[in-house]
């Protein structure tokens, strides 16, 4: 089992401390491999026709969907051929023919406002240490992307190629490789200036380098192969869903440990921010979505932004993303901060974490392990809210990404989770 460094003042001799140590050991021992790329209906258990998996805690339906999510759903229904245009798609989405379900509750992740149906090709990541799998959709790149609510003709044409020709070639290549070690790439990328969430330049390049020979060996035509390799080379954020699925497979291995207060999931649905903790498997503790401090593209500002949505905050629960920003100084400006502020925020996270990651090291901190295992107790005791990175979409459906930034998970999520654990213990 991977050795995990645990500060001596975390109360490891208490029942909760022992439970948290067990959780951290499982997370630290994770061995996530990319093993396949398949339609979600073939690999996600129980996914029915008409189910649409979205990011964050469950929504009651279309009426609770934010603008970016509505734009994404409408574009997806046009893309899948369920509707002729966006207007018809919006009417269809509000009917009883489709059901909005939390992706997190189905071992999957929605990238920002992206949705997953049975037809969506998903990356299959298997945690060989625990034997569980997690799933995430392909990344379209930055800017005008369906996951940011963009649904114009150009966006949907690119998506059709991505989920068609590209997915067929990449899926064949992945199967030929017999598995790509996601953490091996992530470890190297953190040493090259990535944070593992909003900055994926190094990881995406490393992945393209590793998979390229298998793409060629897959035996498709020269033009098709060239298009695939060119997209991988040009998409600097391609690796994000791989990080997310790997993190999900690691964090789910720590769910269901009685008494553990380790946060295993953070996510937002555009209305509510939610967390899960190890000792309360399946339980969401929620609060209104927080404000995002952002850097906006030209001609846009805070008044234009959609409320935060997305499952990519799973990266922070695993100790990367904003928890590793001290090693990604180039990211600071992109999310509206400074290198000094990024370092301060990352260092602050050690105070609310159980341990330091045994594999994810930050050269700028003398190769110190990243903060690992948000402890809901310490969040409440210290009054320090976990920080996370995120993209920013326009609040109006159809426009897409307008910036990037960072926010903090509401402290009340952690206090509600602790109260729920107390109620369960005494029930």
408 in the same domain as 285: yes
2: pLDDT confidence band, cut at 50, 70 and 90?
A: very low
Q: What is the pLDDT of residues 369-378, one digit of tens each?
A: 999 999 999 9
The answer as to whether 74 is a domain residue is yes
22 with 39, same domain: the answer is no
Q: What is the mean pLDDT of residues 407-416?
A: 98
45-67 pLDDT tens trace: 999 999 999 999 999 999 999 99
**Residue 308's pLDDT band (boundaries 50, 70, 90)?**
very high
Task: Please count the structural domains in the chain.
Answer: 2
- What rounded mean pLDDT belongs to the chain? 93
Lowest mean pLDDT among 9-13, 141-145, 173-177: 9-13
If you search the block for the tokens 């996600």, which residue do you land on? 44
Question: Residue 250 domain-assigned?
Answer: no
Predicted local confidence at residue 4, as pLDDT: 45
pLDDT the model gives residue 3: 47
Shared domain for 212 and 259, answered yes or no, is: no
Residue 18 has pLDDT above 50, yes or no: yes
Domain boundary among the residues 243, 270, 294 is at 243
Query: What pLDDT, on a 0 to 100 scale, did the predictor assign at position 336?
Result: 59
How confident is the model over 101-130, as a mean pLDDT?
97
CATH code of residue 211: 3.90.1710.10
- On the question of pLDDT at 226 being above 80, the answer is yes
For residue 334, pLDDT beyond 90: no
Specify the CATH number for the domain of residue 340: 3.90.1700.10
Query: What own/partner pairs with CB < 8 Å and gap ≥ 24 does 76-81 have?
Result: 76/52, 76/115, 76/117, 76/146, 78/151, 78/156, 79/146, 79/156, 79/159, 79/160, 80/117, 80/119
Average pLDDT for residues 96-119, to the nearest whole number? 96
Digit-coded pLDDT (tens) for 133-149: 999 999 998 878 999 99
Higher pLDDT, 396 or 176: 176
Distance from C-alpha of 120 to C-alpha of 132, rounded to nearest angstrom = 20
Give the pLDDT of residue 333. Answer: 72
Q: For residue 353, is it within any domain?
A: yes
Same domain, 226 and 295: no
Domain that holds residue 191: 32-243
In this structure, are 121 and 177 located in the same domain? yes
- Percent of the chain exceeding pLDDT 70 equals 96
Backbone CA torsion sign across 135, 139, 143, 149: negative
Position 13 scores a pLDDT of 59
Q: 201-217 and 182-190 are packed helices; what angle lies between their axes, rounded to 10 degrees?
A: 140
Q: Do 62 and 133 reside in the same domain of the chain? A: yes
Res 6: pLDDT: 45
Tell me the C-alpha to C-alpha distance, in Å, between residue 221 and each of 19, 217, 280, 379: 53, 11, 50, 54
Of 382, 391, 311, 397, the C-alpha closest to 350 is 382
218 in the same domain as 82: yes
Could you tell me if residue 2 is inside a domain?
no
Q: Is residue 379 part of a domain?
A: yes
Indicate if 261 and 392 belong to the same structural domain: yes
Do 127 and 114 belong to one domain? yes
Give the pLDDT confidence score for residue 14 in this predicted structure.
87
Mean pLDDT of 261-266: 98
Spatial CA neighbour of 183 closest among 387, 364, 2: 2
Please report whether residue 159 resides in a domain.
yes
Q: Is residue 248 part of a domain?
A: no
Domain boundary among 210, 243, 276: 243
Asked whether residue 20 carries a pLDDT value surpassing 60, the answer given is yes
Closest CA to 346 of 319, 318, 312: 319
Predicted pLDDT at 10: 47
Whether residues 226 and 147 fall in one domain: yes
Q: Are 306 and 350 in contact (CB under 8 A)?
A: no
Using the 3D structure, point to which of 217, 243, 269 is the last residue of a domain: 243
**Residue 342: pLDDT above 60?**
yes
Rounded CA gap, 196 and 184, in Å?
A: 12
Same domain, 400 and 261: yes
The pLDDT of 171-177, averaged and rounded, is 98
- Mean predicted confidence (pLDDT) in 206-218: 98
Which residue, 35, 45, 207, is CA-closest to 126?
35
pTM here is: 0.94
Residue 271, domain member (yes or no): yes
Instruction: Examine the domain organization and report whether 207 and 308 are in the same domain.
Output: no
């Amino acid at each position: 089992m991977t050795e995990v460094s645990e500060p001596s003042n975390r109360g490891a001799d208490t029942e909760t401390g022992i439970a948290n140590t067990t959780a951290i050991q499982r997370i630290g021992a994770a061995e996530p491999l990319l093993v396949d790329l398949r339609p979600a209906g073939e690999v996600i258990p129980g996914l029915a026709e008409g189910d649409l998996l979205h990011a964050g805690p469950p929504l009651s339906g279309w009426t609770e969907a934010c603008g970016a999510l509505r734009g994404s759903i409408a574009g997806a229904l046009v893309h899948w051929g369920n509707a002729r245009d966006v207007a018809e798609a919006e009417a269809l989405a509000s009917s009883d023919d489709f059901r909005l379900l939390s992706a997190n509750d189905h071992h999957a992740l929605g990238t920002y406002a992206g949705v997953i149906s049975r037809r969506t090709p998903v990356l299959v990541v298997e945690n060989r240490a625990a034997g569980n799998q997690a799933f995430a959709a392909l990344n379209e790149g930055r800017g005008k992307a369906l996951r940011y609510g963009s649904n114009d003709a150009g966006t949907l044409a690119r998506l059709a190629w991505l989920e068609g020709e590209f997915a067929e070639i990449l899926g064949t290549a992945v199967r030929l490789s017999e598995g790509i070690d996601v953490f091996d790439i992530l470890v190297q990328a953190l040493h090259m200036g990535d944070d593992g969430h909003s900055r994926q330049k190094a990881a995406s390049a490393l992945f393209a380098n590793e998979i390229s020979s298998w793409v060629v060996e897959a035996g498709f035509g020269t033009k098709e192969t060239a298009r695939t390799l060119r997209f991988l080379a040009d998409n600097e954020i391609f690796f994000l869903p791989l990080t997310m699925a790997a993190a999900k497979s690691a964090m789910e291995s720590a769910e269901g440990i009685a008494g553990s207060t380790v946060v295993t999931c953070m996510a937002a649905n555009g209305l509510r921010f939610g967390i899960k903790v190890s000792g309360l498997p399946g339980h969401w503790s929620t609060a209104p979505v927080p404000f995002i401090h952002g850097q906006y593209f030209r001609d846009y500002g805070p008044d234009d932004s959609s409320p935060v949505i997305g499952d990519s905050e799973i990266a922070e629960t695993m100790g990367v993303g904003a928890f590793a920003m001290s090693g990604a100084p180039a990211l600071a400006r992109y999310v509206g901060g400074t290198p000094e502020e990024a370092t301060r925020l990352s260092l602050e996270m050690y105070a609310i974490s159980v341990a330091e990651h045994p594999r994810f090291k930050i050269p700028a901190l003398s190769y110190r392990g990243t903060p690992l295992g948000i402890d809901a107790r310490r969040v409440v005791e210290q009054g320090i809210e976990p920080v996370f990175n995120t993209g920013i979409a326009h609040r109006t459906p159809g426009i897409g990404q307008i910036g990037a930034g960072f926010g903090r998970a509401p402290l009340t999520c952690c206090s509600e989770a602790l109260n729920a654990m107390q109620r369960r213990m005494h029930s």
